[in-house]
Amino acid sequence: MDFLRPDTLAEALALKSQRPDAVPIAGGTDVMVELNFDHRRPAALLDLTRVPELREHSTENGVVRIGAGVPYVRIIEELGGALPGLAMASRTVGSPQIRNRGTVGGNLGAASPAGDTHPVLLAAGATVEVASARGVRFIPATEFYLGVKRNALEPDELITAVHVPATRAPQQFSKVGTRNAMVIAVCSFAVALHPGEQRVGAAVGSAAPTPRRATEAEEFLSGELTATDQWESPKPLLDSVKRRFGELVAQAASPIDDVRGSAAYRKHALSVLARRTLGWAWQDYTGKAA
């Protein structure tokens, strides 16, 4: 096995193009588990923790660009105001030790259907920035997840950043697990209000081969809110609306039975999470708009 240690992004991209078989490693919270358990023996590791370009975040034109190597703890501490949903999901990742190391870039690279940040990235309308020696391209989060632990990266590409619109509108994230810390989601859900576009974003995690948008639920709720002029003058949501939203979210999922929970439980739990998180987000919006 080779251990490749680039000091700059250009060097990292050059190495990845020469060695497409090299596995990128940042926080190591997924890659090292696979190595420790002998599940994977890559030909090379490409250590990205020395690449300064990946450890920065910046905000331009209302969009936050988060370098792929920014750990969760910094998203929580430095970006909680602009990206409430992502910060919320980041707080549920692993434990303090894991949040000190783990990164959104790694979450995207692993592309586990259970990754905590995916539903938020989908609901918030994020874009994944990837680069290779050939250049940079931008992949909407909605097109990034291709299958169980499969993403849209080419073998010579690295995830360099994720772009998430900054917002003042409410966002919520919730996940089901057996305890608060160190939990792989049984299922998870994110909702984001986009008052400017009169649109609601909603997505499920750990309930399909990939993280997935709940498109019908989004359209139903967006239509309902616009038709009743609620973006301008919000009123408490009818229970029937919240309930229907929850049903449509559950319908968007195609979960399996596994050790963490049954498919039926996941669908039921998702409808509850959707109803509750929407309630919280809307209460927040009603308060802000009033």
Pick from 136, 182, 256, 264 the residue near other proteins by CB under 8 A.
Answer: 182
Q: Which stretch binds other proteins (CB under 8 A): 135-143, 179-187, 201-209, 275-283?
A: 179-187
Nearer to other proteins, 100 or 198 (CB): 100
Q: Judge contact between 201 and 173, C-beta under 8 A.
A: no
Residue 101 is a binding residue for other proteins (CB under 8 A): yes
Q: Judge contact between 104 and 65, C-beta under 8 A.
A: no
Name residue 175's amino acid. K
Would you mind telling me the total number of residues written for the chain in this entry?
A: 290
Site residue total, other proteins (CB under 8 A) = 30
Residues 5-34 that bind other proteins (CB under 8 A): 5, 25, 27-29, 31-33
Q: Draw the binding track, 38-67, toward other proteins (x: CB under 8 A; -: no contact).
A: ---xx-xx-x-x------------------
Nearer to other proteins, 65 or 91 (CB): 91
In whole angstroms, the minimum distance from the beta carbon of 31 to other proteins comes to 8
Instruction: Report the C-alpha gap between 138 and 160 in whole angstroms.
Output: 10
In whole angstroms, the minimum distance from the beta carbon of 284 to other proteins comes to 22
Residues 257-286 that bind other proteins (CB under 8 A): none
Q: Judge contact between 152 and 144, C-beta under 8 A.
A: yes
Instruction: Report the C-alpha gap between 149 and 113 in whole angstroms.
Output: 7
CA–CA distances in Å: residue 208 to residues 121, 148, 184, 198, 279: 16, 9, 14, 27, 24
Dihedrals phi, psi of 190, to nearest 5 degrees:
-130, 140
In whole angstroms, the minimum distance from the beta carbon of 213 to other proteins comes to 30
Pick from 8, 18, 58, 97 the residue near other proteins by CB under 8 A.
Answer: 97
Dihedral sign of CA atoms 89, 93, 95, 98 in order: negative
Nearer to other proteins, 112 or 127 (CB): 112
- Geometric angle at alpha carbon 224, from 218 and 226, rounded to 5°: 100
And the tokens for 203? 């997505």
Nearer to other proteins, 87 or 200 (CB): 87
Q: Which of 82, 79, 137 lies closest to 104, judged by CA?
A: 79
Nearer to other proteins, 127 or 174 (CB): 174
Pick from 1, 136, 146, 148 the residue near other proteins by CB under 8 A.
Answer: 1
Nearer to other proteins, 3 or 138 (CB): 3
Residue 37 is a binding residue for other proteins (CB under 8 A): yes
Nearer to other proteins, 146 or 181 (CB): 181
Instruction: Report the C-alpha gap between 4 and 16 in whole angstroms.
Output: 10
When computed from its CA atoms, the radius of gyration of the chain, rounded to whole angstroms, is 19
Residue 178 is a binding residue for other proteins (CB under 8 A): no
Residues 103-162 that bind other proteins (CB under 8 A): none
Instruction: Report the C-alpha gap between 8 and 54 in whole angstroms.
Output: 9
Residues that bind other proteins (CB under 8 A): 1-3, 5, 25, 27-29, 31-33, 35-37, 41-42, 44-45, 47, 49, 94-98, 100-101, 180-182
